[in-house]
Structure 1
């Protein structure tokens, strides 16, 4: 561009020199040279303009000499005479050079100022762009009038997982916002409120839940601000992902909760440990005297009045024992024992206290591992769960006690911060078909003095005692409940290995080749569980077709009834539960093997549904080896029947 401009100016200058050569001082072009030099000074350097001025001066001096000497003449004598006056040329050349020099100085000063100002503006713009583009927060500008985004930075692209060109000029933030916020408020109404606040000049800062392109929610902190030009309605949003901060905060709260629980245990332990001895001595005195008075008293009315006092004394002793159990300072006398025998003995005498409309059943595993625990405390814990199950079924129901051997492959800490080491455990599950426990109460049932029963029917120390005893015994207690379905309490007792011969469990995936062509239909409503089971079975060589409900599983099977086995949860949403699904699929193919899974004791959930004796029932969580062994057993049994 500069070269073309220079050629153009050169042509113009030659034309002007030609006019001066013909007319001399009468040529108007003589006074256009300052303009040419001004243009040169604008687009070129100061030095180049001065060189051009020197060239111009020399050319004019040459032309002046030619006119003064008579080498160049004009047809008009008056003009020729005027051109031959050297003084006229000196004035013309001097004024022309002076004007040109002034133009060069003025234009160059202005140009340099503009260039410097432009560089500063450009540098500031680059700095601002860098600050915005590489900011740790997502920065977006929203045009309220046009209804779309007009600018976004790189962090905003990463947050939402959408390229910049797809975010701008068309997408609205409503596409990346769930219908409701965690507070329960509608996102649209809440966003309108904050935007109006920003338009009015405010700087609202608030927590918000967004969704990315994969519909995954993430929590963030948003600050809104109206930005210029103010003839438009532009709102800038600073979006900071606070997922990690919330996770850290939750972790701190969990640590504080653990500390509080530890301090609570320590406080209760110190309190009960300090007073238990003396308090029990006082109760022993009171109880002994009351019993003597009752025995020697001949007045029947007084004897009746003494009995409540004796009961209250015994209740006081029981409260002390429960508090000691919760604080894990109860005096235990562990012995090697058979949990099957304890369950049967407890059932035999405790069953008599149950109303006739409550049916009690047991499913006891043969060759159950031995445990080392305090028999009296274990019986008390089991009795407590039985009585709780009875109270949960005021209109009658079914109570099931089940035992089994389980292996925990890796230690873990449950939701109550109870640590369970890896190893072998004996599981005692107590299940009822009662009204269930609400989610908000599940977190509190092991808290001392909390009870869902009326004041006259519970002290709130029964379950804390069970938890404390199990923790003191090296195990734990877990609970699984659904409203209107029932509740299962699971007691994990560490197995006693000192007198047990070591046995090597068979690993189906190690001993047997991977199954070829075996297809499994999996029905499980929990997405995370379904994904894990699918991956587990596929890794073992099975072809798995997952379904999120019994109804969907039936549709899949009706379209292709060639599946080799049905693996189904028992409690699922929709019309078909696991048991109903198995029945209807067997109406299509009567020999279909079925393996059931449940978070409840299996006997309690599927009893009375007319299922086949060979059906395998597993309790969640299911170990991989147990699941594979169950599937292999069901498939082998089906193959044997087919061969027979």
Structure 2
């Protein structure tokens, strides 16, 4: 006999089954929404998943998600579906008092509004768009802050939702809010990471991240690779300390020690980095240190290459010091030059009459006196020659010549004075040619060797050693003797005009009595060497000897393979037309060869006078002018420049000159004209090309409006 259930029991059982199924649907929806945070790719996918999950519980035919920023008074609708309303534009002046969404936001609780309530709100202008018959919305609250509203509505069924639906909707809203907030945080983090990676890769400075525990780079950008000339895999396999010079390592380790001790350090510091080829660059590192549980873990570092800035600062300091020295010497030189002119006239009269008297003199004592007078006039002539050389502010005339051959020539001129002196030679084979003023270098050598001859005048076994060698793209020559030496108190004064330890100033009896000094020989030597961008140094010990070392840059006739490779990486301009104005054929041949060959490949027109430069400029169109300041004839470099500017105010002009007067005037000129630059003679080939490339780049930026 079968079991017969009453209608009441059937209804109760059906309701229980329905409630159970609904509870399962709610749990499934909650689980689906929670899982969607991890399974969806973005917020749009998450919103679609929420919409689909809710649709299994309540009617979501007309559905929207609104996100609000109360502090900024903004509202936007990232997801919406509606059969009637198509206006879901974002709102930038959101007011919680005049919309259904605002109604939920301001009250911070779920709301179910039926037809009568909606009509009443519409009369108060608190409903946007088409008026629904029923509307249900719940706030999305995270950390006690309303971040949005989820709502459903119907335009055709006034009783589509009830209080039970509102309770379910409210129960699910917490999970929706958490899911949306987590996804927004994920997307914000992803966007931030994407933005960081973009900045990391495309920043105009070097950037790297470092792991202190592993002492390794974690990440490096392309600019950092370009700075160091290491590839990314090479850098990532290196200890960061290996990039630093020994001095910079000690600075770095000292700062690291302070950090580990819990002390604060300034984020920025200056270091010297070693490139892959061993060259050094100056950088400023701006570090952001990351600590974990009080322990230094990582650092994010921004690297700025300040090598050119440092070089410019050093050159400025040197130029200022040099200009100050030259002003002082120029004043002395003007006086000395005037004195030399007048003194030569007096000497000429004395010398001429003494020679005439010697021809007719038969008295031995008188003849000795006349010979002494004649010898002293010769000494006076040598003094005036040095004075005149010191007084002249002439620019070196550059030529290529062999320094060893020049030394041989000077030794031959001084052969008589070297008769009783042991002469040693230590010459490096196959010395490169030196580009310099042959007369100035010869004069410097004569003064230096003559000083050594004088210094060994009382030595029992006088020895003078001459050395020539190359080091780091420089030619060195040394003059060393085993003579009387220079006392420490006077070592810094040897280059001062009119300073001498010979003759009446020889209080220690270090020289033969007949040896006299003019006081201008070493001043001239220093002046000549510095005009060639060289250096001179002295080492001396009393009664042991003295060694002077001259260092001059090697100027090659063409770019080296390494220089070409370096320039190819950075050079942006080729096939330009350049007017080269240079009267010294040695220099113009070298510069033309460099500019016209790979990697520059420019077309070069040469002019060796100011007039020729004016004619060529007026007849042709050029992208840049390389202009010497000192030119033969009445038209100098400045006159050519002013003529160019009358026609073309923007064409780049690179001045090339070692003239002191010009170096002073160019500073003021550069303040008025952004399209000029200058290099002092002699200049390295790579520097010459880099300056031209820099001017062309600046001109392009000016035309494109980026500067």
What's the TM-score, normalizing by structure 1? 0.42
Rg larger in 1 or in 2? Answer: 1
What's the TM-score, normalizing by structure 2? 0.39
